[in-house]
Amino acid sequence: MQRSLLVTAWAVVAVVIAALSLGLSFAHVLEAPPRLNIWPPELWRETTVFNGQFKFFAVLGGPLDVAAVLAPAALAFASRGTRQTSLLFAAAALFYAVALALWFGLVAPANAIMATWTPGPVPADFHAVQLRWETGHMAMAAAKLIGFVFAALALVAVGARSARPGLVR
């Protein structure tokens, strides 16, 4: 297989991974307004903590989030002979890494607290934990959106280079 075709195929895979990762975070953003403003604390806690509403977000989201960092990072390295494309992939990897850091810094600590909750009265720290969890996911979505734009621009750059065979390295 011609190298340019292989790079193009991997770039498409990287953008699909980035899109799937962004999609999960964007779903959190879309769900947040009623969860923060309308739902009573008991409903939020029951769905989020005790009844597994987000089980598949963790099962699929974790591997996708890691892959959304690694795939464009690998492509940044693979396309290092083409500065613009390499920088675009590197920027995508960086913003997806920022999103992952936000998960570890904001969401994971909230998850750890929520793991200690038991049925019964709503914990005293409920609103602070809820806000940290919800806004952490919103911040992740913002970082992923920026990363996705860079990944998409990198894919366009790869396609443009592939369309001009004399420029492919």
Residue 165: predicted pLDDT: 56
Using CA atoms, how far apart are residues 59 and 146, in angstroms rounded to an integer?
24
| Long-range pairs for 47-52: beta carbons < 8 A, 24 or more residues apart | 48/114, 48/133, 49/114, 49/115, 49/117, 50/119
Check whether 90 has a pLDDT greater than 50. yes
> Considering only CA atoms, which of 148, 50, 58, 134 is closest in space to residue 98?
148
Given a contact cutoff of 8 angstroms between Cβ atoms, the answer to whether 103 and 17 are in contact is: no
pLDDT > 80? residue 143: yes
Radius of gyration of the chain measured on its C-alpha atoms? 19
Mean pLDDT of the chain: 91
Global confidence as pTM: 0.90
Instruction: Indicate if the pLDDT at residue 166 is higher than 60.
Output: no
Q: Is the pLDDT of residue 106 over 90?
A: yes
Q: pLDDT tens digit string along 10-27?
A: 999 999 999 999 999 999
Q: How far apart are CA 28 and CA 140, in angstroms?
A: 10
Q: What is the pLDDT of residues 114-129, one digit of tens each?
A: 999 999 999 999 999 9
* Cα–Cα distance, 150 to 143 (Å, whole number): 11
